[in-house]
Structure 1
Amino acid sequence: MTAQLPDLNPAQRTEVELLARGKQDKSRTLRDLGHSETPEAAHALLLRTGVWSEARTPYADRLHATTTPLDLPVPPFPDEPRVDLTHLDAWAIDDEGNRDPDDAVSIELLPGGLTRLWVHVADVAALVPPDSALDEAARSRGATLYLPDSTTGMLPDALVEQAGLGLHPTSPALSVSLDLDAEGNADAVDVQLTTVRVTRVTYTQAQARLDAGEAPFVALQRLARASRTLREAEGALSIDLPEVRLKADEHGVTITPLPKPEMRFVVQECMTLAGWGAAIFADDNGIPVPYATQDHPTRSVRGESLSAHWARRRTLARTRFQPAPGPHHGMGLDLYVQVTSPMRRYLDLVVHQQLRAFLAGADPMPGRVMASHIAQAGLNADATRQAERASRRHHTLRFVAAHPEREWTGIVVDRRGAQATLLIPELALDLPLSTSAPLGAELRVTLGDVILPTLGVRATVR
């Protein structure tokens, strides 16, 4: 019966595609062909008949996460007073090929043994005031959509080109400073509108400069280690699970392990410090911002095995965003905001809008208005993250299907009765498996019976 599909008229084919994309919930065509009227059944039929290729992913459509680039006019930066920090070296340290550099770091040695850490963030809120057309469009997206075969920005590419750090000789920024002692304690924090001069480097290049003993990078490493030690003493959790870089197109999929040089940890810790510093500044000045909070872990998990890290992640409650400060227990911080990605995450942009209003002597959004923005953007960002996860799994299974005879090493990271969860580090892929193997066991498996519409795959122990 499926052979009839190529002879269907365009309207009937469109009907099946709409169901596969989650744009309608019924299909007379599928019903007449004897198929169930589900997005998965429609997807399977389109694959079998060659209407869709295996590269086609419908998950963003189903979750209402837009894949259409935003094309709105971007205003120029306003002419306003800024602190000139162009005398400082500043580095935007990212993965190779990063297209939206929105944060950078600088370091200064101060009298009395203090070190001033600067985290500069692209001043996106200068171009995207609350309730502007750009703001409403960004809120409707919630976050930038990163798929293995495409990226759809939360904001227009033209804004990224205008505001991205290191894309021009100097850049406007919102800069968070923390004066830290040798143990990582903060003596003072501040937030200012600045002008910075930023050099872009990759993690690999930054790691080479650290390994060569260049003083600024060694100082950043020292601060990051001290900060991490302090947070761990307050209960911060360390979770280290495999990550891969996944790229896909019509011709195939490539999967490579994500390198984890220490400079990646250093930059992450600097961004965490910036979020902590911005939260302190907002709280001290009574500025309503979306504080990121998290409850205590449900239980304590010790050990550094993959299964321990997997279990530790499962103990974490979901991060909540609220107008009032509260502890983020997973980070070991008494208060925290996300502030370093305003081009990619809407709630970071809200933090910038609120801080910028205060710095300009204007009234920030009232807490109740901001709370409604948090709720709307949170739903849209959730859809974006779900679409990313489903699309990554889809293309990972495409890669698996292209290597049917290959053996993979998997680790049993969880058990529920006779069922286990197997994690294949080389693919960052987890899947269910019926096995009596104990937690932490290493198994050699082949992967087959890939079913893309249901994102299913079967593991067979060798």
Structure 2
Amino acid sequence: MVVIRTGRAESDPGLDFGGVRTEFGLPDEFPAAALAEAQRAVSGDVDRADREDATALPLVTVDPPGSKDLDQALLLERVGDGFRVHYAIADLGAFVEPDGALDTEVRRRGQTLYLPDGNVPLHPPVLSEGAASLLPGQVRPAVLWTFGCGPDGEPREVRVRRALVRSTAQLDYEGVQAAFDAGRPHPSIEALADFGRLRRARAAERGAVELQLPEQEIVPNGDGDWKLGIRPRADVETWNAEVSLLTGMAAARIMLDARVGVLRTLPDADDGAVEALRRSAHALGVPWPDGVTPAELLAGLDPARPEALALFVDATRLLRGAGYTAFDGEIPEVTTHAGLGAPYAHVTAPLRRLVDRFATEVCLAVTAGEPVPEWLRRALPKLPSLMGSSDALAGKVDRACLDQVEAWVLLDRVGHEFDAVVLRAEGGGADVFVAHPPVMGRCTGEDLPEGEWIRVRLVTADPDRRKVVFERV
């Protein structure tokens, strides 16, 4: 997985990603009509008549450092032996006119694309980094979810409504983790660790599959070009993600009960995929006790072990076939996301992902006892195709950027030798992971042992073709 941090390499124009932008036809600006519509929306007053005033809630945001497109703000409270969770989500419905010029453009884009030398935003920055972003100290329109949860972390009651909110602080993952480690967490999220651990336990019980693969990170190195690193995932990120997952599962349940909406779905892995994973585990020397589910097995592995890393890569076969399922009147055949072990919908990142706004509008209408608007019903059948195309493009762009940086980083090291873990052997070679620098590439050779360290030599580092090839020493 690639994680891209926004930045610019100014000193050498050859080290930008213009080639990637051109190859995939990425837009460099918004149409004039869409920009004008966004500006009008920002200049006008948000309708406050039907919004709850929740500005007294001491909500905070937790994001990567320097983020400006802030989708979520949260507050966790202990109530008896349970919890109350407030989760405010940026309300794009307050700014985007259905079927207008801006709506047309964001449907075309689908989602924000992240490149190392700058983002291709879903919405104009005047919205995504300004009037719609939950920036600290600013009163913002939001969709406010409130969960009353028991001591097991499961929701007993769910409320969703439009509100006005004011974030009290913009926090980042590293700082929040350090505060927890020091025993001095921010009061608004003091309960996040306990709640997050409870939700993780529930996820394991549901059979949620988590692949602990290393996240390759592209960052500016300060000298005008780029470097690769491994992005450590802090516990607080996992806990924070559980709040988002809780919200998405609640949204899915609301839409399923109303028989209208759009879900993020993933069919259950077939028996053949599970048996193939069992064979891989046996070949890698990973014990798989009777009665242990794939999710439980994977959750118990040490990601620092080479055999575990290889098995995580092999386990991606369990998560193939993800998509979006829209429905109106009939419950679809597949309603769950097998990777999460529950029905799920995207509703928590509307600044960065198209489908979230539409799913949120369904939830708001249903819970208010109002009919789902006709413009929304017309849009639902189109969303799976729009999001599928957008997800595919985002994956290709991420991969191209990573391949480009890997080739740049290794350009002057052709002929050098490295230690590498064999991830997956097939087709007369294998995918390997080199830890220093953190590169995933192709290695030629026969009978390469999956899940073992080998010595490899770099034979190709071609920035023009974005290609890196190793051979076994």
Q: 1:427 to 1:236 in 2, by over 3 A?
A: farther
CA 459–143 in structure 1, closer or farther in 2 if over 3 Å, else same: same
Pick closer, same or farther for the CA change 1:80–1:283 going to 2, 3 Å. farther
Correspondence for 1:59: 20
**Cα displacement (A) at 1:341:** 0.8
- The range that moved more, 248-257 or 446-455, is 248-257
Change (3 A) 1:360 1:172: farther
Alignment of 1:110-121 (within 5 A): 110-111=79-80, 113-121=81-89
Which structure 1 residue ranges, 5 or more long, are not aligned?
A: 1-51
What is the identity, as a one-letter code, of the residue corresponding to 1:412?
Answer: V
Distance 1:173 1:66, change over 3 A: same
Residue 144 of structure 1 deviates from its aligned partner by 0.7
Please say if residues 55 and 166 of structure 2, whose CA atoms lie closer than 8 Å, have aligned partners that are also in contact: yes
Change in CA separation of 1:78 and 1:372 when aligned onto 2, cut-off 3 Å: same
Match of 2:399 among 384, 389, 399: 389
**What are the equivalent positions in structure 2 for 1:404-443 lying under 5 Å apart?**
404=414, 407-416=417-426, 418-426=428-436, 429-435=439-445, 436-443=447-454
Task: Tell me whether 1:354 sits opposite 2:362 in the alignment.
Answer: yes
**Residue identity opposite 1:140 in structure 2:** R
Relative distance call for 1:441 and 1:433 in structure 2 (3 A) is same
Change (3 A) 1:363 1:285: same
- Alignment of 1:208 with 2:149, yes or no, is no
1:244–1:428 contact (8 Å) kept in structure 2: yes
Instruction: After superposition, give the CA deviation of every residue in 1:325-365 in whole Å (9 maximum; x if it has no partner).
Output: 601111111x1101111111111122233334554946334
Report Cα offsets for 1:246-271 as digits up to 9, x if no partner: 13599321223213111011111111
Structure 2 counterpart of 1:63, one-letter code:
F
Q: Which residue of 1 aligns with 2:372?
A: 363
Work out whether residues 221 and 263 of structure 1, in 8 Å CA contact, stay in contact via their aligned partners in 2.
yes
Residue 278 of structure 1, CA deviation: 1.7
Shift of residue 158, structure 1, vs aligned partner: 0.2
Q: Which amino acid aligns with 2:119?
A: T
What SS is found at the alignment partner of 1:177?
Answer: strand
* 1:185 shift after superposition: 1.8
Counterpart AA for 1:170: V
Q: Secondary structure at the match of 1:130?
A: coil
Residue equivalent to 2:461: 450
The count of corresponding residues between Structure 1 and Structure 2 is 409
In 2 relative to 1, CA 206–350 (structure 1 residues): closer, same or farther, beyond 3 Å? same
Q: Which has the larger radius of gyration?
A: 1
Query: 1:226 — aligned with what?
Result: 198
Q: Do the aligned partners of 1:124 and 1:343 also contact (CA within 8 Å) in 2? A: yes
Question: Unmatched 5+ residue regions in structure 2?
Answer: 1-12, 278-296, 302-307
Residue 428 (structure 1) shift: 5.0
Q: Equivalent residue of 1:226, what SS?
A: helix
**Cα shift readout 1:121-167 (whole Å, capped 9, x = no counterpart):** 11112111321211111011111111111111110000121111124
Q: Distance in 1 between matches of 2:390 and 2:258?
A: 30
Q: Which amino acid aligns with 1:240?
A: Q
1:244 to 176, 199, 216: 216
Partner of 1:332: 341
1:77-92 aligned at under 5 Å gives the runs: 77-92=46-61
Aligned match for 1:265, one of 202, 226, 238: 238
Report if the CA contact (8 A) 1:297-1:330 is conserved.
no
Q: Say which is worse superposed, 241-250 or 270-279, in terms of deviation.
A: 241-250
Q: Indicate the residue corresponding to 1:97 in structure 2.
A: 66
* Mapped contact 2:142–2:165 kept (Cα < 8 A): yes
1:170 corresponds in structure 2 to 139
Cα RMSD over matched residues? 2.6
d(CA) in 1 for partners of 2:261 and 2:435?
A: 38
| Contact 1:178-1:187 at 8 Å conserved across structures | yes
Q: Which residue of 1 aligns with 2:384?
A: 374
Is contact 2:72–2:90 with CA below 8 Å preserved after alignment?
yes
CA offset at residue 97 of structure 1?
A: 1.8
| CA-CA distance at 1:403 after TM superposition | 4.4
Partner of residue 143 from structure 1, selected from 105, 111, 114? 111
Over 3 Å counting, the alpha-carbon distance change for 1:81 and 1:216 in structure 2 is same
Q: Secondary structure at the match of 1:388?
A: helix
* 1:345 aligned onto 2:353: yes
Task: Measure how far apart 1:224 and its partner are.
Answer: 1.4
Structure 1, 161-170 or 360-369: larger mean CA deviation: 360-369
235-244 or 385-394, which moves further after superposition?
A: 385-394
How far 1:236 moved relative to its partner?
Answer: 0.6
Q: Percent same amino acid at aligned positions?
A: 23
**Change in 2 beyond 3 A, CA 1:322/1:401:** same
- Residue aligning to 2:8: none
